[in-house]
């Protein structure tokens, strides 16, 4: 049976280095990790996760707490989970999902929390375990998209496409992401020396955008939307008033699969969900092993130019 010593010999490193790659990867250079993982793959070596957990007094379990109804949670959560799993798999960690605050935290080494609202922060602070959040907040370490910068970029891009009137349709939430996205639009409008034109909806009910059908919208207008869901509904309404993207432009935010369900593929700010998931796992593992901590991080979204905006002018 292949042993740790065999892996060390094959990679031409010490057994201690191999152990650090498995148990404390954040302390090892990428070059050394590549050597070890190459040897592991070639020798088909499989560390005993149970023995490893017992030796380290760890459960080798990370719990992901989704504070929403999982059956109706945002589609992009699955892509964040993919990034988390990819990282945990390399370290023989298991992932467990939960949607309940009263979860048995003694059966895990740490938590990654998704879907947390401002009202959840007090409860989270009482959990006696290392944790990180998916979503910018002032209290806990987090990874998130740079919401303010994303919408700023989308608004500036719409202006560079030649659209004269720039509207923003946002969410009337008090959550950080909603406020940051609105702030990005307002910052761009200020830099462009244009008038701010903002509409907000709750996003919880059908027909909230029907008011657009009655508005005398001027052509040569672009709508920057807080989410892809909003952008898709706005696009459908605008098609009854003119031609996309010549008369009206639409830009969404998120880059989820919904952006492909409309006749015109949606121009959107696509979040890097898997990358953020991987970083969340790395942040949490650094906390668990009390190694140098990783800072909270905002990830830039990618502008995907499709069919709901016209070419740059």
pLDDT at 59: 86
Q: Are residues 105 and 241 in the same domain?
A: no
Distance CA 25, CA 45 (A): 17
In a domain, 51, yes or no: no
Of the candidates 282, 280, 272, 276, the one whose C-alpha atom is nearest the C-alpha of residue 90 is 282
Q: Are residues 169 and 240 in the same domain?
A: yes
The answer to whether residues 159 and 135 belong to one domain is no
Look at residue 49 and tell me if it is in a domain: no
* pLDDT at residue 103, rounded to an integer: 67
Count structural domains, the chain.
3
Is the pLDDT at 181 greater than 80? The verdict is yes
What average pLDDT does the chain have? 89
The CATH number that applies at residue 131 is 3.40.50.2300
d(CA 168, CA 223): 6
Query: Containing domain of residue 118, as a range?
Result: 56-144+272-299
Mean pLDDT is lowest, of 33-47, 88-102, 148-162, for: 33-47
Q: 189-207 pLDDT, tens per residue?
A: 999 999 999 999 998 788 9
Instruction: Output 15 or 231, whichever has higher pLDDT.
Output: 231
Q: Return the top range by mean pLDDT from 18-22, 42-46, 229-233, 276-280.
A: 276-280
Nearest to 197 by CA among 173, 221, 172: 221
In a domain, 194, yes or no: yes
Residues 154 and 262 in one domain: yes
Q: For residue 160, is pLDDT > 80?
A: yes
Is residue 155 located within the same domain as residue 241?
yes
pLDDT for the residue numbered 49? 56
32 and 79 within one domain: no
88-110 pLDDT per residue, tens:
988 889 898 888 776 677 789 99
Which residues sit opposite 95 in a β-bridge? 62
- Burial-class residue 311 by CB neighbours within 10 Å (0-12, 13-18, 19+): exposed
- Is residue 263 situated within a structural domain? yes
The CA distances from residue 297 to 26, 62, 77, 117, 125, in Å, are 17, 20, 18, 19, 20
Whether residue 171 sits in one domain with residue 114: no
Q: How many CB atoms sit inside 10 A of residue 131's CB? A: 21
- Rounded average pLDDT over 303-310: 96
69 and 183 belong to one structural domain: no
Structure confidence at residue 288 (pLDDT): 93
Q: Which residue has better confidence, 81 or 24? A: 81
In this prediction, residue 26 has a pLDDT band, given cuts at 50, 70 and 90, of low
Q: Is the pLDDT of residue 176 over 80?
A: yes
With bands split at pLDDT 50, 70 and 90, how would you rate the model's confidence at 18?
Answer: confident
Does 313 reside within a domain? no
The answer to whether residue 307 sits within a structural domain is no
Whether residues 188 and 287 share a domain: the answer is: no
Query: What element of type H or E holds 36?
Result: helix 30-43
- Please classify residue 217 by burial: count the beta carbons closer than 10 Å to its beta carbon, then call 0-12 exposed, 13-18 middle and 19+ buried: middle
Whether 133 has a pLDDT exceeding 60, the answer reads yes
Is the pLDDT assigned to residue 139 strictly greater than 90? yes
Same domain (yes/no): 86, 137: yes
244-294 tens-digit pLDDT: 999 999 999 999 866 566 666 899 999 999 999 999 999 999 999 887 889
Q: What would the 3-class secondary structure string for 164-211 be?
A: CEEEEEEECCCCHHHHHHHHHHHHHHHHHCCCCEEEEECCCCCCCCCH
Is residue 166 situated within a structural domain? Answer: yes
- CA 95, distance to chain mean position in Å, is 18
**Confidence grade of residue 13 (pLDDT, cut at 50, 70, 90):** confident
Has residue 48 got a pLDDT over 90?
no
DSSP codes joined into one string, 251-284: EEEE--GGGGSSSSPPEEEE--HHHHHHHHHHHH
Residue environment code for 154-188, b if the CB has 16+ CB neighbours within 10 A, otherwise e: bbbbbbebebebbbbbbbebeebbbbbbbebbbbb
Asked whether residue 70 carries a pLDDT value surpassing 70, the answer given is: no
Give the angle subtended at the CA of 200 by the CAs of 197 and 201, to the nearest 5°: 155
Q: From CA 189, how far away is CA 194, in angstroms rounded?
A: 5
Q: 163 and 242 share a domain?
A: yes
Its pTM stands at: 0.81
């Amino acid at each position: 049976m292949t042993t740790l010593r065999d892996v060390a010999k094959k990679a031409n490193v010490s057994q201690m280095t191999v152990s650090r790659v498995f148990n404390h990867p954040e302390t090892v250079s990428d070059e050394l990790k590549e050597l070890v993982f190459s040897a592991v793959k070639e020798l088909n070596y499989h560390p005993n996760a149970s023995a490893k957990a017992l030796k380290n007094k760890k459960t080798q379990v990370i719990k992901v707490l989704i504070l929403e109804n999982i059956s109706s949670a945002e589609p992009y959560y699955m892509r964040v989970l993919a990034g988390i799993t990819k990282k945990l798999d390399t370290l023989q960690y298991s992932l467990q999902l939960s949607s309940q605050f009263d979860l048995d935290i003694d059966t895990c080494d740490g938590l990654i929390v998704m879907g947390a609202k401002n009202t959840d922060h007090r409860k989270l602070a009482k959990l006696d375990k290392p944790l990180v959040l998916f979503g910018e907040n002032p209290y806990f370490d987090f990874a998130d998209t740079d919401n303010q910068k994303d919408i700023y970029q989308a608004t500036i891009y719409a202006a560079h496409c030649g659209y004269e009137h720039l509207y923003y349709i946002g969410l009337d939430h008090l959550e950080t992401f909603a406020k940051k996205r609105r702030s990005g639009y307002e910052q761009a409008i200020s830099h462009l020396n244009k008038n701010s034109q903002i509409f907000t909806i709750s996003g919880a009910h059908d027909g909230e955008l029907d008011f657009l059908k009655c508005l005398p919208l001027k052509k040569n207008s672009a709508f920057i939307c807080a989410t892809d869901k909003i952008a898709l509904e706005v696009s459908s309404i605008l098609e009854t008033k003119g031609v996309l993207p010549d008369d009206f432009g639409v830009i969404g935010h998120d880059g989820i699969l919904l952006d492909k369900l409309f006749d015109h593929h949606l121009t959107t700010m696509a979040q890097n969900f898997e990358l953020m998931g991987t970083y969340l796992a790395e942040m949490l593992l650094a906390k668990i092993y009390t190694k140098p901590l990783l800072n909270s991080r905002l990830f830039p979204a990618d502008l995907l130019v499709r069919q709901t905006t016209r070419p740059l002018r």
